[in-house]
Structure 1
Amino acid sequence: MRRVKDRMDREFDQPLDVVSLARDVHLSAGHLSRQFRAAYGESPYSYLMTRRIERAMTLLRTTELSVTEVCFAVGCSSLGTFSTRFKELIGVAPSVYRERGADPLPGMPPCVVRQVTRPVRRPVR
């Protein structure tokens, strides 16, 4: 599972799916999904989207890329899906996040900013 997680961390901006991830570690997609959830508490897709949103947050804070450019830069192929997932995790749309948080923590070391701004998946009710 660590190899799969590491690959998603490294290649989050590439088109990844559970089938190709599973094939690389010689498992079925279903078995990989069950094992990944048992190990990390969320599905491979949820983990990958969280990594992508985390990177998108950084790009929105530190670059002048448009929301659409950020969407594609982090590996999402649909602006609608990207915006929906961003809002689910962060609580606001990407454009609102940029307006409110261009530099939310001035003077704070990047390692602390990363920890404080890390997206947290909220349980669905």
Structure 2
Amino acid sequence: MPQVTSTPDDTRHLRDLALLRRVRDRIDREYARPLDVEALARGVNMSAGHLSRQFRRAYGESPYGYLMTRRIERAMALLRRGDLSVTDVCFAVGCSSLGTFSTRFTELVGVPPSVYRRRSARATAGMPSCVAQRVTRPIRNREARPAGRRLA
């Protein structure tokens, strides 16, 4: 039988994938903390540019985009509870700017956070939280349809 050997490029690619998983896992765990691409890159001994390129290649979006998606997913869960204001939710998920939070939320979810909070309380009433989380998951990469347009 022929022996399979790996090339240095294969080895580097596998090492980079393992490091990218560590970055993604860190974002998933620490989404509410102040994180930036430079800090994430330092944590895995990569340059910020290399991390951003490789992360986008592996996961289809930038590390910052992935972080914001995680924050918005958590914000959606907090808004569905209905006991926190939009501002409180913004800061609870690690955003420091209400404007940026609201803009990104609207891009991903299709409606502003205040509208989502009002609608979701009715829409998910009586639904188990695990099901509500799954059916209300945001659409990544700005794929949400604008709020005013309807398909025939």
Shift of 1:65: 1.0
8 Å contact kept, 1:61–1:103: no
Alpha-carbon spacing, 1:41–1:8, altered in 2? closer, same or farther (3 Å): same
Q: Map 1:86-125 to 2 at 5 A.
A: 86-121=105-140, 122-123=142-143
The structure that has the greater radius of gyration is 2
Counterpart for residue 102 of structure 2: 83
Counterpart for residue 15 of structure 1: 34
| Structure 2 residue ranges without an equivalent (≥5) | 1-19, 145-152
Shift of 1:109: 3.2
RMSD: 1.5
The DSSP-based 3-state class of the residue aligned with 1:85 is helix
- Kindly tell me the number of residue pairs found equivalent between the two proteins: 124
Shift of 1:13: 0.2
The whole-number CA distance in structure 1 between the counterparts of 2:59 and 2:91 is 26
Select the residue among 14, 22, 25 that pairs with 2:44.
25
Q: Which has the higher contact order (CA 8 A, sep 6+)?
A: 1
What are the superposed Cα offsets for residues 29-50 of structure 1, whole Å, 9 maximum, x if unpaired? Answer: 0000011011100000110000
| Structure 1 residue ranges without an equivalent (≥5) | none
Select the residue among 53, 56, 62 that pairs with 1:43.
62
Shift of 1:110: 2.7
What are the superposed Cα offsets for residues 14-37 of structure 1, whole Å, 9 maximum, x if unpaired? Answer: 000000000000000000001101
The whole-number CA distance in structure 2 between the counterparts of 1:103 and 1:29 is 43
Counterpart for residue 7 of structure 2: none
Shift of 1:113: 2.0
The DSSP-based 3-state class of the residue aligned with 1:118 is coil
